[in-house]
Structures are given as structure tokens and as C-alpha cells.
Chains A and B, each alone.
Chain A
Amino acid sequence: MSSSPPSPTRSVAADAGKAGGTPAPLLSLRGISKSFGAVAALTDVDLDVSAGEVVALVGDNGAGKSTLVKTLSGVHPPTSGTITFEGREVSVASPAAAQQLGIATVFQDLALCENLNVIENLFLGRELRGLRLDDVAMEVRSRELLKQLSAKIPSVRVPIAGLSGGQRQTVAIARSLLGDPKIIILDEPTAALGVAQTAEVLNLIERLRERGHGVIMISHNMADVKAVADTVAVLRLGRNNGVFDAATTSAEELVAAITGATDNEVTRRASRSAGGATTAAEPAGTTADKEGDADE
């Protein structure tokens, strides 16, 4: 990850998207609530995702990020609220229904079979020609897909056990792409990854944006969020707590929105080290998005 200043063009584009005028969002949630018995996990949550937009979904533990993702992926249908997908109101009753609509989810435990190779994992459950596997076509398709994602996989014939965490994440994401989804939801894609592997996955998310997918990324890492996201949606205690433009919002502001307080150790320390209130411009050094100029 390089640190170049945030691109001004991006924020304009993001603002245009958010204005809701010209390109209607691909997916929009309105007033989503979900309760488990007496516990309200989500209350009146709104979220918009456009094609070619990366939305980071951030929030503290228990803020409802996972629940929101699960309502979208059909694991827990919402108690109330509407989901509009490509201009139509839809109900996502099951994971299969989500797949059908074109919403793919990559959960944190990637659910790959370590004993099978990359091709076998990519096509697991949807092999071509069941009685006499068409492994040529599957290998061609796998290579194409990984090439489009500029994935660094040593060989598509190595078992998953031989791949690094970042490479596994890549395979899991590539697998979700096989169904040709419009929206891809990534649940903490960079958790437990090293620096280089994180960069690899963030590059991959850039590829997804370039391909025109809408991406929802759950993350705890503000540097990652600032690096790839266009928009940051903050959840706090099951409610919306602001939607920010990633390029113009500082990590401190995001942390403040997440925790619900501007006065905490992170902001105090930032202001101490920068020696003033103008701190927010360059936090943490690595937050800017290197591909910022490329899109739009």
C-alpha cells in the first residue's frame, strides 16, 4: 500500500452516487430491523450500495454488522424493512435466494476444502458435466477468473492447504464470483492476514470494483477501510450512525462514530502527536487509497 493523498475526484463521484439521482443504487436497504426474541439486533437500518462501489460496514463488536450481512445473505430474513435490488423490492428468504438474486457472501471462515485443489474448490458443488467431469473447461475458467483478479496463486492444481491465508481468501472470493453475482459481501476479509497478504486482498477488492461489482466489506481495520472503501457505513448498537465518504473522513472521525464518542484514547493520542486540532488530515500514514485516481 502506498500513501498518496486522497483523490478529490473520487469523493465527487461518491457524492454523486449517494445523492441518489443519476445512478440508482444497485441494492438499498430501508428501515431494516431484526430482533431475536426480545433482543433487537438491528433497528431501522438503511444501506445503499451501487455497482462499482465499495461500502465498508464498520462498527464495534455487537453493533449488528454480522446480523445485517446475514439478512442480506438470506441466513436471517429481516423482521421488518425492505430490500430493493435493481429497483425491485425483493425478499431474501434463504441463502439460495440470495445466490439467485446475485448476492454472494464470503464468510470469515472461508469454507474451503484443504484436501482439494483450487479448481476443485472453485467448482465444488457446481462441477461441469457431473458424470464425466469437464476438467479442461473448469481449469480454463478457473485460470481466466484468477487472471481477471490478478491473483497470485502458484498453480490451480495445488491443494488449498498449500496456499497462504491471502491466497485462500482470493480463492474464496473467486468462488463467489463464479455465480456471476452483482453484490459481493466480504466478512472481515483481512482479519488474521499478514501485511503483504492484506495488500493482496485489498488489491483484489479493487479488481472487484473495476469489474463493476458492488462490494460490502465488514472490517475492523480503519487503515483497510480507508484504503479501499468509497463509502463507510457505521453501525452502532444496531442503528445507523452515519454514512461517510471514505476519502474525506479521517480514521478518528470513524472511530468516534463507531464508539459514539469523540473523546477517547485514540483521538487524544492523535491530537497529542500531531500537536493540534488539525490532526485528521494524515492519520496513521497508510490510509490513502493508491488506486484512487484509477477509478472514475
Chain B
Amino acid sequence: MSDVDVRPPAAAAGAAGAADEPSGLRGSVSALTARMRGGDLGVAPVVAGLIVIWTVMQILNPVFLSSDNLSNLTMEMVPVGVISLGVVFMLLVGQIDLSVGSLSGVSAAVTAVLFVDQGFNPWLAVLAAVAIACLIGWVYAQVFNRFGVPSFVITLAGLLGFLGLQLHVLGPKGAINLPFDSRLVTFAQLDFVPPWLAYTLVVLAAAALYGTGHARASARRKAGLTATSQRVLIARSVAVLAGLVLAVWYLNRDRGVGWMFVFFLALVVVANYVLTRTKYGKAVYAVGGNVEAARRAGINVRTIYTSAFVICTTLAAIGGILAAARLAAANQSTGAGDVNLNAIAAAVIGGTSLFGGRGGAFASLLGILVIQSISNGLTLLNLDSSYRFMVTGVVLMLAVALDSVARRSRASAGRA
């Protein structure tokens, strides 16, 4: 994502080099502003939007930014956040999955039935539900690849069909409670990272950020390429360290950082690595950007589509199970209502293009943070869901409009 590389002119080698960015901290800032002026907004609009939302919410209700509420917020956002991470993969290949809500509901129902009614080991129940979701994704992909049905239509059918399946699996009771003392429920409700471990993880993350950045920069320097300067690397790592330490400290004034949230962060980081640093990730972007070019480059386009469908349905299942665990019940409304659209909206608000080939894993994290902040803040104000829907709708519209404007200025600045 916001990978601010600065190229010292001294190291500018090669004909194509002639990189004009100056070095040092100031250089990286000016490069960033130049990029943003060119319409490459990155995460800036989401972060700005988040600041506005948080400020307004805090003014309206001083509880909003309390440790208690923020700790709650980080836990609340995980289920839909995980689903939206899957949606990011679908959007990146230029397709969409409208059935993520229903799928998450079915998976929650399957898990609950197997675990509570059939007495399975909870992990086995989870595994079974996830496996079923995998299979569904595979079937979607087969229909898509073999019959050429648009993903929009396939998953619209799935949306209806799996809603029915969810109701059927739950049976006449319509709801199954998960035992409060099961690992599943404690993971989603009660398990918090002990403070010492949280701080250790933060330090490790910052160190890893510096370490990988340093290794990369020195490899580039050795090869005579321009590289991120040492000062920028250190500044970036220190900023991340300070930010995370502050966040952990603040959350630890109340319950702390939930394991479920750490799990979500880990998923996002892994997905980010896969998308940016592997051959598979490049293929995903290539398919989303120009299918024909990807095919001619020897990429197995069908496999890439299949993988995106399967990743999306799998993550939707995991999200659904987490939602059920958080509620300690799987019922008819798990995954229903606005889950579907919130997951897709989060991906888009976070900066993933609906037209494919643009965006990243962190979009889901930032997007869901925006959506959940609105929802949480309005709930604190005792406003009912009618307002929540309307405000979220406006924010989504703003995000898409901003994306379109940015795309236009990217085109005129030649960065599209």
C-alpha cells in the first residue's frame, strides 16, 4: 500500500532510471503530495474520512473514543471485516460476490448444528463449515468458467439459495445458542491478548517492518538501484511503533486487544503479502486489469478466477462463524440484513475499485473501520438502524464518487 520509496539520485542507474524524486524525509513527503495531486490518493481519503467521523462522533457523544468503546469497536468489526477481505479478492479480479452474507449465515448455521445439535468437536464443526464454503466457491467458479454466467448473477442466485439453505439448516427453532464456555465463544468475546504480549507483538511488528525494509533497500542499493533511505525507514518504523504502542496502551486501559482482532490483522497482513509479493498476487491484478493480456502472458485465468471465488467464500464462512461466536448464537439473522452490503461497501470505501485490478488487502481493514465507526457511533446516540443505513449509504456514495474523481485525475496525470 503506502509504499513510499525514495530514490536518491546518486543511485539512479539505468536508462529508464532518471528518477526525479529527491532523497530524505522531505523527499518522501513531496513525492507523496505529488502522487496525491496526480490522483493517486492511496489511503488518504479513508484516513481523512475516519478522522472526520471520529471527531463528529466524539463531539456528539464523549463515550465514543473511550477505551471501552474502542475496544468493543475492534471486536465488532472483525466478522464483517473478514468477509470484506474476501470481497477484496473478488473485486480485484473484476468480479463480485453478492452472496457473502448468506454464505456467512449458512456457515454459522452449519457450525452451530454440527457443534451443538450433533455434538461434534467445535473445531471439526468449523472445519466442516469452511470446507462446505470452499466447495460452494469452487462450484461458483465452475459455473463462471464453464458457462460464462456473470458472477453477479451466479452469486445473486447464491444469495437467495443459501438464505433458504440457512433457514432449512436451522430448522423450525430458527436459532441455536452456542455454549458460553466453548472456545469458539470465548475466542470471539473474552480472549484478550495479555498486555506484555501485545507490546511484544507491536515491537516485533515494527522491527519486522524495519528489517524487511532495510533488507530490501540494501539489496536494491547493491544492485545499483535507488532505494528507500535509512532515515525514511527508521521514521516509518518509529511512527508505526509509536502509533501501535499508543493504541495498545489505550485499549489496555479497558479490556485490551482481542485475539479475534489480532486474527483479523494477521489475515490482512498475509493477504497483503500474497497480493503484493507473490506471482499469484500479480496474476490476480493482471486478470483484473486485462484478462486477455493475462491469458497471453501464460497465466491460467480460470485458476485465478477459481481461487478468488474460493478465497471469498471461505473468508465469508469464517466471518459468519466469528459473527455467530460473537453473538453466542447462530440464528436466522446471522449474515442477513446489511452484512452483505457492508462487506462490499467496506472493500470499496477502503479503496478497492469495483472495476478490478485496483486496491489491496488493507482496504478491508480501513473500510470496515469506517463502516463500523458509523454504526457504533449512531448506536451510541440511540439512533435506530434507519439512520445507520442512510449515513452508511451517503458515505459509500462519497467513497465511490471520490474514487471516480480520483480515477479521472489519474487519467489526466497519466497514472491511471
In the complex, how many angstroms separate the beta carbon of B221 from the nearest chain A beta carbon? 10
Docked-complex contact A127 and B279, CB < 8 angstroms: yes
User: What is the size category of the interface that chain B forms with chain A?
Assistant: 35 or more
Cβ contacts A to B, 15 pairs, < 8 Å = A109-B292, A113-B294, A114-B416, A115-B285, A115-B288, A115-B416, A120-B282, A124-B297, A125-B299, A127-B282, A144-B14, A147-B14, A153-B16, A161-B411, A163-B414
- The answer to whether the Cβ of B298 comes within 8 Å of any Cβ in the partner chain is yes
Docked-complex contact A147 and B15, CB < 8 angstroms: yes
Docked-complex contact A133 and B225, CB < 8 angstroms: no
CA–CA, A26 and B310, complex, Å: 48
0/1 interface trace, chain A 142-161, chain B, CB 8 Å (1 if under): 11101100110111111101
In the complex, how many angstroms separate the beta carbon of A78 from the nearest chain B beta carbon? 21
**A153 contact set on B, CB distance < 8 A:** 16
- The answer to whether the Cβ of A210 comes within 8 Å of any Cβ in the partner chain is no
Known contacts A124-B286, A127-B282: A118-B225 contact under CB 8 Å:
no
CA–CA, A139 and B220, complex, Å: 9
Known contacts A114-B289, A137-B223, A159-B416: A146-B16 contact under CB 8 Å:
yes
Residues in B269-289 with C-beta less than 8 Å from chain A: 277-280, 282-283, 285-286, 288-289
Q: Contacting A116 at CB < 8 Å: which of B219, B223, B289? A: B289
Nearest 5 A-B pairs (CB), nearest first? Answer: A143-B14, A125-B297, A161-B416, A130-B279, A162-B414
0/1 interface trace, chain B 396-416, chain A, CB 8 Å (1 if under): 000000000000001101111
- The answer to whether the Cβ of A126 comes within 8 Å of any Cβ in the partner chain is yes
Docked-complex contact A124 and B299, CB < 8 angstroms: yes
Residues in B6-25 with C-beta less than 8 Å from chain A: 13-19
Q: Contacting B290 at CB < 8 Å: which of A112, A133, A154? A: A112
In the complex, how many angstroms separate the beta carbon of A161 from the nearest chain B beta carbon? 3
Known contacts A114-B289, A114-B416: A155-B280 contact under CB 8 Å:
no
The A/B interface has a contact count, at CB < 8 Å, of: 116
- The answer to whether the Cβ of A132 comes within 8 Å of any Cβ in the partner chain is yes
Docked-complex contact A113 and B279, CB < 8 angstroms: no
- The answer to whether the Cβ of B358 comes within 8 Å of any Cβ in the partner chain is yes
Q: Contacting B278 at CB < 8 Å: which of A120, A131, A151? A: A131
**B410 contact set on A, CB distance < 8 A:** 161
CA–CA, A115 and B410, complex, Å: 11
**B1 contact set on A, CB distance < 8 A:** none
0/1 interface trace, chain B 67-101, chain A, CB 8 Å (1 if under): 00000000000000000000000000000000000
Known contacts A115-B358, A130-B280, A159-B415: A125-B289 contact under CB 8 Å:
no
CA–CA, A147 and B15, complex, Å: 5
- The answer to whether the Cβ of A261 comes within 8 Å of any Cβ in the partner chain is no
**B285 contact set on A, CB distance < 8 A:** 113, 115-116, 120
Known contacts A113-B293, A116-B289, A127-B282: A162-B416 contact under CB 8 Å:
yes
- The answer to whether the Cβ of A196 comes within 8 Å of any Cβ in the partner chain is no
- The answer to whether the Cβ of B224 comes within 8 Å of any Cβ in the partner chain is yes
